[in-house]
Amino acid sequence: MCEIQYDELGPSKVIHLYSKKAQLRAIVVVDNTALGPAIGGVRVSPLVSTEEVLRLARTMTLKNSIAGIPHGGGKAGILVDPKGPEKERYFRIFAKQIKDLQEYIPGPDMGSDEEAMAWIYDEIGRACGLPEELGGLPLDKLGATGFGLSECAEVSCPYAGIDLKKARVAVQGFGSVGKAAAWFLSEKGAVLVAASDTKGTIHCADGIDIDKLIEIKQSTGSVINYGEGIRMETEDLFSRECDILIPAAIPDVINEENVYSIKAKLILQGANIPATRAAEEILMKRGILSVPDFIANAGGVIMAAMEYAKKTEKETFEAISSKIKKNTGLILEKAMQEKILPRAAAEELSKDKVLKAMRCREY
């Protein structure tokens, strides 16, 4: 059992759920609700730990706060195999168990999707990331997170000395986030020169046709079947000549081993924690600007909050654009003036907001 570290923000509740009859274990952490009921995803894996849920819940507190949405941070973990046959039953039992925990609003995460959110909603009447038929805004279909990354690029490019209209872009992980980011950036004039997935990297210095690459990835399962340019190993993506690099796959891929090979001037963090803290410090010393995940990829969580508030698709895209542009400017100004990491600037601003809200609340 992990030892819980309490600090000035939380966690406010750490709950371990157990159904003997269903042999189901789950963990819910409500980290902080000063800004409103906590929103955070439900991670489904036999390996989810209390420590992991605690860490992710805190990340949500900070992400929701700086995104300016009226929600605190929380997270849940259900300790079952997400591909198992009894998925619906487990979600329905979990939902019943959290019915009275009104300050937690579940959302999708690894191992849970919009169908799972529909089961939870059916049981308890609250969840975000719902199917369109239940009033949901389809996050990946609309490419909200990728759109947010392209808005973030507009503000951060001048700080890195890049002209976005001619920028060369490399995307690590050509999935929901990576594809949409490449597409929205190309609408602003940028050119995709490299993309990767688990099978390898494709590099075309003259530019990649994004619609064609999306179709190839969809039909063959990998970007390496693009048919033009040079095929390389997955890891080679990081050393390609480009202006903007977007890691959009898994954590810690930019680390002390490969950070010196990066040639980009600007990194927009599409994935969560794609760079280690040590790598972020080296990037700063090398003059490479790196906009942290909870600013750059906040499009997803802003969409979840807008969906929960029953806003339209148009209102949601306007909110993503204005919030991400404003926050990118704020944290980059602060980071430049105080000579600190953009991540440190973002953490400070978002924590400050939560602490101010806490002073107005009784508990």
C-beta closer to ligand NAD: residue 271 or 346: 271
Cβ neighbors of 78 (< 8 A, separation 6 or more) are 24, 25, 26, 42, 43, 44, 48, 90, 91, 94, 111, 112
Under rule CB under 6 A, residue 250 binds ligand NAD: yes
Alpha carbons 140 and 76: distance in angstroms, whole number: 21
C-beta closer to ligand NAD: residue 174 or 226: 174
C-beta closer to ligand NAD: residue 12 or 145: 145
Under rule CB under 6 A, residue 328 binds ligand NAD: no
Total length of the chain: 363
The single residue among 270, 327, 332, 341 that binds ligand NAD, judged by CB under 6 A, is: 270
Peptide bond between residue 46 and the one before it cis (omega within 30 degrees of 0)? no
Contact between 191 and 166 (Cβ < 8 Å): yes
75 flagged as catalytic = yes
Cα–Cα nearest to 164, from 143, 184, 144, 142 = 184
The single residue among 197, 243, 280, 307 that binds ligand NAD, judged by CB under 6 A, is: 197
Under rule CB under 6 A, residue 145 binds ligand NAD: yes
Residues 209-248: x where in contact with ligand NAD by CB under 6 A, - otherwise, as a string: -------------------------x-------------x
What distance, in Å, lies between the first and last C-alpha atoms of the chain?
A: 27
Under rule CB under 6 A, residue 172 binds ligand NAD: yes
The single residue among 23, 102, 198, 322 that binds ligand NAD, judged by CB under 6 A, is: 198
C-beta closer to ligand NAD: residue 17 or 139: 139
Under rule CB under 6 A, residue 37 binds ligand NAD: no
C-beta closer to ligand NAD: residue 139 or 192: 139
Contact between 9 and 354 (Cβ < 8 Å): yes
Please report, as residue ranges, which positions from 275 to 304 form the binding site for ligand NAD (by CB under 6 A).
297, 300
Contact between 142 and 313 (Cβ < 8 Å): yes
Q: Among residues 63, 75, 179, 323, which one is catalytic? A: 75
Contact between 35 and 65 (Cβ < 8 Å): yes
Number of residues that bind ligand NAD (CB under 6 A): 22
Closest distance of CB 64 from ligand NAD, Å: 13
Contact between 228 and 203 (Cβ < 8 Å): no
Residues with catalytic function: 75
